[in-house]
Amino acid sequence: MSAPYRVGIVGCGAISRNHLEAFAAIPEATVVAVCDVDPGRARETAERWRIPHAFGSVGELLAAGVDLVSVCTPHPTHEAVVLAAAAAGAHVLCEKPIAIDLASAERMVAACDTAGVRLGVLFQRRFWPAAQRLRAAVDDGTLGRPILGHASVLLHREPEYYSAAAWRGTWATDGGGVLMTQAIHYLDLLQWLMGDVVEVHGYLGTFTHAIEVEDTAAAVLRFASGAMATLSATTAAAPSLGVSIRITGETGATAELTEFPEGTDGRVTILARGRTIDSEPAHPAGIDPDVDLATINGQLIPHHTTQIRDFVEALGAGREPAVTGHDATAALTILLAVYESSRTGRPVRLAQPAATPEGAS
């Protein structure tokens, strides 16, 4: 095997653990440096994970010589890190959402294209075995062309979730609420399963959390195929009922994926006329739905690992990763259209198709 890719991780907060665990499981890559604007946090992380270098800035991390940068900082800071990494010739794996505005996302994609480096964005829920089964039911004709979709995202966040991190809950530093941070995963699944979105109508509300961004949202999506879907999302549910994604196809068959409690592997039910293809209980009895954030993030580690492994394999194979900067920009486009529609009270037509045809396989 050639020398492993030298990886630098930028941002040593909650989600960095998923990246550290993933790279620890991938022999073709080794984390050689971490950095955080809080240098003490970078040092602690480096000590705990036996990483040679800890820095207080991205510039120092890049100067140490890395082939691949994982971006685990708050959303509005992604762009500066991605642009610096691309300029230094490093491939980039960026946490979702790619950015909080489209111009920023487009600059990130363009910078990576110009530098000839790969850009991948974490949408690890595409890699759930359950999500793959749903996608297979679309691809193998069980559902036929999707005609109707629904994503129900009924989550719980304690008030401290927003108050403990200064960047959460404001338009300037978080870019949005439940849509930007949680429901974007499920918007991405809808576009991955149902195709390009061409029109969006949406509403936002802030009901129970002391934040300026939305804690609740509802939207109707129209797809290029003519299909339609609804999305409802909140962080105000108590307890959380988790997530349900349901797709009905033109054969009449329906596939449902349920994530309960939040963060656990999805369960699937697929019903076609005359047969049950899959049937797993959506909300098994006796399970406590109240899971804390560290547990939720921890349960996502296997799927982060699968996506990060795909990214490393893509570098070796000279191909695009399963989830590209274009895919992530498409999901952001849909989400920002919900915000615009809520502001104007009108449906928003998307200028460009909001999804690329390829996806995780």
Which residues are at the interface with ligand NAD (CB under 6 A)? 10-15, 35-38, 41, 58, 72-75, 77, 95-96, 122, 124, 165, 181, 297, 300
Taking the complex as a whole, the smallest distance from the CB of residue 160 to ligand NAD amounts, in Å, to 13
Angle, in degrees to the nearest 10, between helices 102-115 and 325-344: 170
DSSP string, 317-356: HTS--SSBHHHHHHHHHHHHHHHHHHHHSS-EE-SS-SS-
Q: Between residues 14 and 218, which has the closer beta carbon with respect to ligand NAD?
A: 14
- Burial readout 317-333 (b: 16 or more C-beta within 10 A, e: otherwise): eeebbbbbbbbbbbbbb
Q: Which residues 6+ apart lie within 8 Å of 75 measured at CB?
A: 95, 97, 99, 100, 174, 175, 180, 181
Q: Which is nearer to ligand NAD, 33 or 200 (CB)?
A: 33
How far is Cα 20 from Cα 49, in angstroms, rounded to an integer? Answer: 8
Nearest to ligand NAD of 218, 293 (CB atom): 293
Between 37 and 238, name the residue whose CB sits nearer to ligand NAD: 37
CB neighbours (10 Å) of residue 276?
A: 9
Q: Which residue is nearest to ligand NAD (CB)?
A: 13
Instruction: Give burial (CB, 10 Å; 0-12/13-18/19+) of 203.
Output: middle
Nearer to ligand NAD, 227 or 334 (CB): 334
Least separation in angstroms between residue 123's CB and ligand NAD is 7
State the nearest-atom distance from the C-beta of 85 to ligand NAD, in Å: 11
Shortest Cβ 315–ligand NAD spacing (Å): 20
Reduced to 3 states (helix: H, G, I; strand: E, B; else coil), residue 74 is coil
> Which residue's CB is nearer to ligand NAD, number 73 or number 234?
73
Cβ 272 to ligand NAD, closest distance in Å? 31
Report, in Å, the least distance between residue 71 CB and ligand NAD: 8
